[in-house]
Structure 1
Amino acid sequence: MRISADEAGEQRSVGDRLLLILDAVAESPGEVGLSELARRTGLKKATVHRPATDLVAHRMLERGGYGYRLGLHLFELGQHVPASRRLRATALPFMSDLLIATGEIVQLGVLDGTEIIYIEKLTGRHSVPAPSAVGARLPAYCTGLGKAILAFSDESAVDRVVSGPMPARTSTTITDPARFRRELDRIRETGLAYDREEGTRGIVCVAAAIVVESYVGRDGHRAVAGLSVTGPAQRLQPVRLEAAVRTAALAISRGLGHPLGR
């Protein structure tokens, strides 16, 4: 793909522009028009239009009635990521068992920087709307999955979270770094993390880390993912699901057997 002198003046490589466009579209729940895409990426409309057209041709993006949305080829490529594919394949039978037993939302997520990425989500007969979705991101500090994973992650991962902004999303969000570290200490002792309406008012969850012993980490274990059951605060009693969630996470950990990606 050739770039004009005008485009070159924007000081971004072609690869940078492609990723900026894909990220900007991914952040929107619906379609993103060309003008809005230019605003979000900080690029000129003419600069955005050419790579966006190429992404449509390669099915990375789709053109809708209003603007652009992510294309199916991205989903197809994602299914071939070895670590993600193996983790999901190992976890799904146990997630399905939890879904049948609880009827609530069962989720699988991994830590990416200071955020949780949801890589699988099962919903059942009792499930209520929740802000998570497969491929979506939420701050790690205010989610059960995030706290469960951070408790069994390297200290540098925890430092990244507590050194950044931790705004209160609800009245129960833990925003104090020292208190957050004490919460992680408790999770290491019990193996269970809770979201006490910390991310979304009315939504609670119980979560456990999926750890692999052969990683070099805290006490010889390191979290590679987290598993949770989520539901409405007025109905879900996390304490009643502790054993089921802990057992499922342990079974998945044993099923993985060795570090993902090797």
Structure 2
Amino acid sequence: MRISAEEAGEQRSVGDRMLLILDTVATSPGEVGLSELARRTGLKKATVHRLATDLVAHRMLERGGYGYRLGLHLFELGQHVPASRRLRATALPFMSDLLTATGEIVQLGVLDDTDIVYIEKLTGRNSVTVPSSVGSRLPAYCTGLGKAILAFSDDTAVERVTSAGMPSRTGTTITDPRRFHRELAKIRDTGIAYDREEGTHGIVCVAAPIVVESYVGRDGNRAVAGLSITGPARRMQPARLGAAVRTAALSISRLLGYPLSR
């Protein structure tokens, strides 16, 4: 790939700049114009234009009426990630059953650094609008999926989340690390996590971890993903759905071939 003399003076590699452009477009709710993309990435407009043109040619980006959006080839590549593909294929029948039974949103997510990344989402007749979508991220500390996974993660993962800060998003968000640790201890006992309008006003969630066999030398299990049902607080009663979500998560864990110790 060609690089200009001007660009050679910049500190980032071509690959770094391409990933920066993709990450910036990915975190935008809609299309991103060229000038805005240059401003948000801190790259020269000419650099953004040249790299974005190459990304469009490889279908990593698409040109819309206003600017750039993610391209279909990124989705195609994602389907070839072995762990994600197997997890989604195993979970989908159970997610479909939960959707049929409740009519509420059913989601599958994994922990990445301090965030939950949503890798599957099913909506039904009763579904309402929520901030999550497939491929999107939300802070782990204020989501049912995040708490379910963190309760069955190692101390390093939990410390990373609490150290990053837990700002209040609603009046019920848990922001105190000590209280958060107590919440995780309860989840380890029950295998069920709740989001009590902690991330979004009016939205509640019940979640359970999908676990693997414990690390050598450690007690308990390690979560590789989480399964949840999400709906409006005015209608959904998470406590009544906890057993169903937990049973589905346990079934997925067993089918993935990971024995459980509890």
TM-score by length of 1: 0.97
Q: CA deviation at 1:214?
A: 5.4
Q: Are the counterparts in 2 of residues 118 and 135 from structure 1 also a CA contact under 8 Å? A: yes
Q: Distance in 1 between matches of 2:122 and 2:10?
A: 43
The corresponding residue for 1:112 is 112
The corresponding residue for 2:129 is 129
The corresponding residue for 2:238 is 238
The corresponding residue for 1:249 is 249
Secondary structure of residue in 1 paired with 2:51: helix
Q: Distance in 2 between matches of 1:129 and 1:2?
A: 44
> Residue type matched to 1:207 in 2?
A
Q: Distance in 2 between matches of 1:3 and 1:212?
A: 45
Q: Are the counterparts in 1 of residues 152 and 220 from structure 2 also a CA contact under 8 Å? A: no
The corresponding residue for 2:177 is 177
Q: Distance in 1 between matches of 2:218 and 2:249?
A: 18
Secondary structure of residue in 2 paired with 1:241: helix
The corresponding residue for 2:90 is 90
Q: CA deviation at 1:219?
A: 2.0
> Residue type matched to 2:170 in 1?
T
* Structure 1 pair 39–142 and aligned structure 2 pair: CA distance change class (3 A): same
The corresponding residue for 1:149 is 149
The corresponding residue for 2:209 is 209
The corresponding residue for 2:219 is 219
Q: CA RMSD in A?
A: 1.2
Q: 1:61-100, aligned counterparts within 5 Å?
A: 61-100=61-100
Deviations 1:46-79 (A, max 9, x none): 1111110000000000011111000000000000
Deviations 1:88-138 (A, max 9, x none): 000000000000011100000000000000000000111111111000000
* Structure 1 pair 218–210 and aligned structure 2 pair: CA distance change class (3 A): farther
Secondary structure of residue in 2 paired with 1:219: coil
The corresponding residue for 1:17 is 17
Secondary structure of residue in 2 paired with 1:59: coil
Q: Are the counterparts in 1 of residues 211 and 258 from structure 2 also a CA contact under 8 Å? A: no
Q: Distance in 2 between matches of 1:214 and 1:81?
A: 23
Consecutive unaligned residues of structure 2, counting only runs of 5 or more, are none
Q: Distance in 1 between matches of 2:41 and 2:57?
A: 20
The corresponding residue for 1:159 is 159
Q: Distance in 1 between matches of 2:25 and 2:60?
A: 11
Q: Distance in 2 between matches of 1:33 and 1:217?
A: 52
* Structure 1 pair 137–159 and aligned structure 2 pair: CA distance change class (3 A): same
Identical columns (%):
85
Secondary structure of residue in 2 paired with 1:3: coil
Q: Distance in 2 between matches of 1:218 and 1:83?
A: 23
Q: Are the counterparts in 2 of residues 207 and 228 from structure 1 also a CA contact under 8 Å? A: yes
Q: Distance in 2 between matches of 1:185 and 1:11?
A: 45
Aligned length: 259
Q: Are the counterparts in 2 of residues 154 and 217 from structure 1 also a CA contact under 8 Å? A: no
Q: Are the counterparts in 2 of residues 209 and 249 from structure 1 also a CA contact under 8 Å? A: yes
Deviations 1:202-237 (A, max 9, x none): 000100000012544852411000000000001000
TM-score by length of 2: 0.97
Consecutive unaligned residues of structure 1, counting only runs of 5 or more, are none
Secondary structure of residue in 1 paired with 2:134: coil
Q: Are the counterparts in 2 of residues 153 and 218 from structure 1 also a CA contact under 8 Å? A: no
The corresponding residue for 2:139 is 139
* Structure 1 pair 217–22 and aligned structure 2 pair: CA distance change class (3 A): farther
Q: Are the counterparts in 2 of residues 216 and 222 from structure 1 also a CA contact under 8 Å? A: no
The corresponding residue for 1:41 is 41
Question: Stretches of 4+ moved more than 4 A in 1?
Answer: 214-218
